[in-house]
């Protein structure tokens, strides 16, 4: 497929899970892809190899999205490798769950540094390179529609990302840069091993999902490809629930 031919993408947290699925989808659609990882080099290299095996172009880039120097190095390496940047997918995230009483300042800062500050730093570093027609995709969560006990910090970061994206759609609209949000529902990934949960927990999740199953990264990727493509040229400031009707 060539919907994204000639375009260049960076996907943060693309060594596994939804980020890996989106990176592969963008690569299969013809984009050259910078595959960011924090610690899972092998995972990122596997994604690069899959994109290359399908005839695409990709590189793996290590970097912590919460560190400005890492982020600037990754964006510079993307430009060095591919000469431009058109698509930014802010997918990297950190999440742990627990009761209010156990929230520490260190965990608060780790969640917000990775999920919110990381999204801001990557977007800031990318912006000087983005031309009219560029697309920014930020990952939030369908979980915002249905508050879940024990998920304070993660929920707070994903709400912040959804709100920030609306601000950016307005701020960057005059430059013809589109900003949209993908909100996955419960999706089987390395970070969310639903298949290993007990039967009651799995049934609870599936019961909250209109289409009656758990999602997988391949369910998310085509929507990211669409939103990144010129077919979505009139779509900005949107929160797309890609969740099988999770509520
Ligand atoms: N899975 C779900 O059910 C679900 C539901 C709603 C929303 N989401 C959202 O979808 C996105 C992906 O979730 P997932 O389940 O696929 O996650 P995952 O399997 O846990 O993967 C997380 C990815 O983020 C990377 N990462 C973590 N901290 C990083 C940092 N500081 N700098 C750079 N990369 C970092 C990890 O890299 P390394 O492995 O290299 O460390 C990994 O590639 C997240 O934004 C999440 O909030 C997921």
37 lines ligand 1 (CB under 6 A): yes
* Count of beta carbons in the 10 Å neighbourhood of residue 63: 22
Structural domains for the chain: 8-242 (3.40.50.720)
Regarding the beta carbon of 16 and ligand 1, being less than 6 Å apart is answered yes
Give the closest residue to 71 by CA, choosing from 13, 7, 136: 13
Cα of 46 vs centre of ligand 1, distance in Å, is 16
Q: Are 10 and 75 in contact (CB under 8 A)?
A: yes
β-pairing, 87-90 with 135-139? parallel
- Residue 37 designated active-site: no
Give distance in angstroms: CA of 17 to centre of ligand 1. 7
Distance CA 209, CA 109 (A): 31
Predicted confidence (pLDDT) per residue in 169-228, tens digit: 999 999 999 999 999 999 999 999 999 999 999 999 999 999 999 999 999 999 999 999
Side-chain-side CA neighbours of 57 within 13 Å: the count stands at 14
Choosing from 18, 35, 187 the residue with most ligand 1 atoms within 8 A of its CB, the one to mutate for a pocket test is 18
CA of 101 relative to ligand 1 center, distance in Å: 25
Q: Give all strands of the β-sheet with 58-62 in edge-to-edge order.
A: 58-62, 32-37, 8-11, 87-90, 135-139, 178-184, 239-242
- pTM, two decimal places: 0.98
Residue 1: pLDDT band (50, 70, 90) is low
Concatenate the DSSP letters of all residues of 219-230 into one string: HHHHHHHHHHSG
pLDDT tens readout for residues 116-172: 999 999 999 999 999 999 999 999 999 999 999 999 999 999 999 999 999 999 999
Q: Which of 37, 154, 168, 246 is catalytic?
A: 154
């Amino acid at each position: 497929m060539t919907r994204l031919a000639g375009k260049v993408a960076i996907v943060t947290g693309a060594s596994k899970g939804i980020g890996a699925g989106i990176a592969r989808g963008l690569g299969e659609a013809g984009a050259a892809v910078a595959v960011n990882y924090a610690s899972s080099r092998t995972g990122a290299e596997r994604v690069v190899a899959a994109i290359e095996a399908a005839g695409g172009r990709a590189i793996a880039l290590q970097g912590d999205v919460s560190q400005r120097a890492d982020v600037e190095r990754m964006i510079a390496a993307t430009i060095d490798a591919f000469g431009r940047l058109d698509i930014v997918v802010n997918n990297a995230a950190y999440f742990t769950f627990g009761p209010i009483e156990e929230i520490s300042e260190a965990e608060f800062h780790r969640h917000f540094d990775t999920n919110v500050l990381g999204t801001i730093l990557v977007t800031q570093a990318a912006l000087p390179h983005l031309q009219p027609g560029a697309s920014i995709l930020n990952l939030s969560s369908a979980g915002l529609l249905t508050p879940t006990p024990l998920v304070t910090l993660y929920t707070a970061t994903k709400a912040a990302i959804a709100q920030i994206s609306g601000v950016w759609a307005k701020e960057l609209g005059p430059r013809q840069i589109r900003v949209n949000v993908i909100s996955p529902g419960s999706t089987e990934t390395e970070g969310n091993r639903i298949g290993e949960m007990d039967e009651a927990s799995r049934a609870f999740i599936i019961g909250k999902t209109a289409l009656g199953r758990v999602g997988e990264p391949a369910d998310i990727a085509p929507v990211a490809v669409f939103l990144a493509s010129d077919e979505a040229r009139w779509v900005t400031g949107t929160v797309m629930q890609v969740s099988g009707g999770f509520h």
